[in-house]
Chains A and B, each alone.
Chain A
Amino acid sequence: MDRRSFLKNSAAASALMTVPLASKVASAGKKSNSLIFASPGTPQSLDSEFDTSLGTFDFISACYDSLIAYDTMPDPKDPDAKREDLKKYPDRPSGHKMYGKLAESWKIAPDMTSVTFNLRKGVKSHWGNELTAEDVKWSWDRKLALGAIGGFFASVIGLSKPEQIQVDGKYTVSFRLDKPAPMLMRLHRNPYNNILDSKKCKEVATGDDPWAKEWLKNNVAGYGPYNLVSIDRGTSAVAKARKDYWGGKAAIDTFIMQEVTSSSQRAQLVKKGSVDVAQFLTPLEVASLKNAPNVAIDSVQSSWMDWLHLNCAEKPFNDKRVRQAMNYAFPKAAAIKSVYQTYGKVLEGVMPDIYPGYVPGTTYNKQNLDKARDLLKDAGYPNGFETYVIYDAGQTFQEPLLVLYRTALEQIGIKLTLKKTPSASYFKEIVAKKHPLTFYRDAPWSPDPGYALNLYYLSSSFVNYSNYNNPEVDKILTAAASEGDAAARFEMLDKCQSIILDDAPVVLISNPDFSLVRNKDLKGYTYRTYNHTVAGDFYWS
C-alpha cells in the first residue's frame, strides 16, 4: 500500500468510524454501504494460529478464505437466517454437502486416507499474488512447524510431517495420511485453517521469524473478500471489500468492528441505529429489543454448551453417584425460562444436538431432587457437603444461573459457595483443573461427534477440564479417530456418548441460542458452528 492510498483509506475509515456512531438515524450503515459491528472486543492479533481473543474470528473470517465450506440451508427456527447444512449425506464423498471456495474440486480416497484438491485458477491475494498449491502446503507446513493451535488440527487428522502434503501441480495439492482420517474434510472448512499467501509471508519473514509470526499479527495475507484498512486495538478494526475477490466484490463496501465492551451499551447502540449489528448480548437484553423499531433479532440453535465441570479426580465428585445427583439437582427448565428467556434449550446430551451423530439423553432433563437425595445417600453423603464453584465475572448470565442452582442444592444439603473470578484470570483457573466446580461455555467448532468427544472427554485432552478418565471411553475414542467406515464410527461414538452421559463428568445445563440483533434492513445472516459472524454474508435490502 503506497502513502497516497494509505492516507485515502485512513481518512475514509475515520469518517466511517465517527459519523455512524454520532448519527441518530437508523440505517447509518446502509446509507454509506458500510457494516458496523458492535463487538465486545477487537482482535488482539490477526494470526489465528495464536489468537482466540474476542473478535478475532469475526475479523479473520472477513479477510481469509478456506478451501471448502459447508453448503447452507434455511434455518428451521429463524426464517431470515441461513445455517450450515450439517446433515449426513451418505451418497456424497465423505458424507457432507460442501462446496468449493479456494478449491474448485476435490477427490477423497474411499478409505479416507487422502484427499486431492484442485484449486481455482486466477485467485488473487490481498497482495496480488496468485493462489497456488504452494500456498496450501506452506499454510499447513506452518502449522506443523509452529505446533500451536494448528498443530492440534494437524494431529486430529494424523498429519505429522510436511511430506504428507504434496504439491502435485501448480493448482493441485494432496494430503496423504498414514491412517484413515474421518475429520479430513470437516477440518478444512474450519476458520483456523484458512489459506495464507505464502509469497507475501516469505517476503516479510526474517531469519528469526521464518513463518512471519510478528507480521501476521498486524497484517493480513490471504484470499478473502475483505482487506485490512486499519486496526486500533481496543477501539476498532476496519476492512474494505476487494474488487478483485475471486467470488466477486462483497455486497457491503466497508466492514467496521467497533469495540463496545458493555453488552447493555451494545444493545442501546443497535437500538438507536448507531451500529448495524450487536453481538453477545444477554438473553434479557435480546428479549428487551423484541419490539424495538428498526431492529430484528436472529436467534438460532447454536453449538454452544453451558455446563459445570465437576472435578472427577477429587472427592466428592470422584463418585459417579454424586455427579449424577448434581445433574438431577439443576433446575434446567426454570433456568431456560428465566435466565435464558427461552433463547436456548435444555442440554440433554454430552455434545451439541445440532451435530450429526448426536445421541440425545433424557436422564437429567428434569430436576429430580428426590433422586438426587437418594444418590447422595448411596454415595455416603446423606447430609450433603460443602463445595464451591468458580465463574466468570464478565459473563453476567453465569451468576443468576448459579444462584438458582445454589437454592436447589440447599434442598439436598449441599452448600455451594459462589466464587466470582475476574475475566482476566478466569481461564487460568479453568485450565488449572483444581477447582471442584467450574462454569464453562464452550463449543466444538467442527461438527463431528468424534471431534467433540475427543475434546472434552479423552483423558489426555487439554480441554478435559473435568479430569474425567474412563479407560473404556479413551479406547473407543482412539479407535474411532482412525475408523474409515462412517457407519461403524458413528456406532462406536453412539456408545461412547451413552457411557459419558451415565458417568456425568459435567452438570449439563443448556444449549444456548446464538442471538444477534441487527438493523432490520440488513440481511444475509448465516449461522456457522464456530459461533462467529462472517461480514461477507451480509447485504442491505
Chain B
Amino acid sequence: MKVLYLYCKDRPLIGFGYFFVFFLVILAIFADLICPWPPQTANPDDYLQAPSWRHLFGTDETGMDIFSRCIYSIRLDLSIAFLGTAVSAIVGTAIGALVGYYEARGRLKTVFSSFTMRALDVIQSFPVFVFAIALVAIFGQGLYSIIAAIAFVNMPIYVRLMRTQALSIRQMRYVEAAYLSGLSDVRLIIKHIVPNSMGPILSHLSVNVGWSVLLAAALSFAGAGVEAPTPEWGSMIAVGFKNIVTGQWWPSTFPGIVLGLTVFSFALIGASVEVLADPVRRRAAIAKY
C-alpha cells in the first residue's frame, strides 16, 4: 500500500483511477442503503423527470430513477467484467502455459501447439464485438452467456501472453534443473512456469476488466445483454438513447458518464500495475522517496 501511495503521490490521475474504482466498490456494497428508489420498479407518475433533488439523475420513460439504477448497475457490470476476465485469464493462462511448455518438445506436441495457435488466430480474426454477439445468440440471452462470451473473446490474449512467457522461462537454468531433478511436467508448470510468468498477465488484467465492462455494456446496448429492466449501464444507454432526440438527455448521459469513467479508471490502474509489477521500474518510479 505504501508503494502504491508513493507512486500515486506524483501521479494524481492514477490516484483518481484507484479512488474511483474503490468508490464504485463501496457504492455497490452499500447500494441498498444509498439508493433512494428501487432500481427496477416503474413509477409512471414520474416518467422522464429531469434531474432534481427528488431524482438526482432524473428518471427514464417508465419513471425508474436513473441514479439508483446507475448505482445498482455497478454490481452487475463489475461482476460480469471480473468473472469474465477471471475465467479468460485462468483458462488462457493454463492453455498458454501448456502450449509454451510443450512447444518444441516432440513432433506430436508441436502439432498440438500449432493447432492451438492457429485456432486462436481464427478466433481473433473475427471482430470481437460481432463474435461476442454471435456467442450470446448461440448460448441464449442471459447473464452466464455474457460472461462466457467475454471470457471466450478475451482468452486468446492470455494464451499468447502466457505462451510467450513460458517459452522463455522454459529455457531458464532453474527450470532445466527442476526438470532434471525429476519434477513432473504438471508440477513444473504449476510451481515454476506460471508463477514466474504472471507479471504481464497481471498488468493486462486491470485493463481487461475495464474493457470487459465496455463489452458487457456494448452487448446490452445492442440488445444482446441482460433482460429488461435489469439495471445495467449499456442497456440504460440504449433505452435512453432514443430520448436524446426527443429532448431528454439524462436517461443515457449519466450511465454513459459512469461507464466512461469506470473504463478510464481501470485503464489507469492497468498502466500503474505494469510498472509496479516490475521491480526495476517500480524502484525507479518511487526512487525519490
Contact = CB atoms under 8 A, between A and B. Distances in A.
A406 B246 contact: no
B61 A284 contact: yes
Contacts of B12: none
B228 A268 contact: no
Contacts of A393: 223
Contacts of B47: 338
Given A393-B223, A399-B239, A406-B229, A288 B42 contact: no
Q: What's the dominant secondary structure at chain B's contact region?
A: loop
Nearest to B243: A284
A396 B44 contact: no
Contacts of A339: 61-62
A77 interface: no
Given A267-B245, A339-B61, A402 B41 contact: no
Interface stretch (A65-73, A357-365, A412-420): A412-420
Contact of A334 (B45, B48, B141, B242): B45
B247 interface: yes
A417 B227 contact: yes
Interface in A249-304: 263-264, 267-268, 282, 284-285, 287-288
Contacts of B63: 338
A337 interface: yes
Contacts of A338: 44, 47-48, 61-63
Contact of A419 (B48, B227, B242): B227
A230 interface: no
Contact of B246 (A288, A402, A422): A288
Interface in A370-417: 393, 396, 399-400, 402-404, 406-407, 410, 417
A419 B141 contact: yes
B223 A407 contact: no
A331 B44 CA distance: 9
B62 A404 contact: yes
A285 B42 contact: no
Contact of A420 (B43, B228, B247): B228
A396 B242 contact: yes
A335 interface: yes
A401 B239 CA distance: 13
Given A399-B228, A403-B228, A419-B227, A264 B44 contact: no
In which size bucket is the chain B interface? 20 to 34
Contacts of A418: 227-229
Interface string B102-116: 000000000000000
Contacts of A400: 42, 61-62
Which of A407, A417, A419 counts the most B-chain CB atoms under 10 A from its CB?
A: A407
A159 to B, nearest CB: 44
B247 to A, nearest CB: 6
Nearest to B63: A338
A427 to B, nearest CB: 17
A417 to B, nearest CB: 6
Nearest to B247: A288
Nearest to A282: B242
Interface string A337-365: 11100000000000000000000000000
Contacts of A419: 141, 227
Contacts of A284: 61, 242-243, 246
Interface in B13-51: 40-45, 47-48
A419 B243 CA distance: 22
Interface in B195-236: 223, 227-229
Interface string B35-77: 0000011111101100000000000011110000000000000
22 contacts: A263-B242, A264-B245, A264-B246, A267-B245, A285-B246, A288-B245, A331-B44, A334-B45, A338-B44, A399-B228, A399-B239, A400-B42, A400-B62, A402-B228, A403-B228, A403-B229, A404-B42, A406-B40, A407-B41, A418-B228, A420-B227, A422-B223
Given A338-B47, A417-B227, 19 more contacts: A264-B245, A284-B243, A285-B242, A285-B245, A335-B44, A337-B44, A338-B61, A339-B61, A396-B242, A399-B228, A399-B239, A402-B228, A404-B42, A406-B40, A406-B42, A407-B41, A410-B41, A420-B141, A420-B223
Interface of B: 40-45, 47-48, 61-64, 141, 223, 227-229, 239, 242-243, 245-247
Question: Which 7 A-B pairs give the minimum distances between C-beta atoms?
Answer: A334-B44, A288-B246, A264-B245, A407-B42, A338-B47, A338-B44, A403-B62
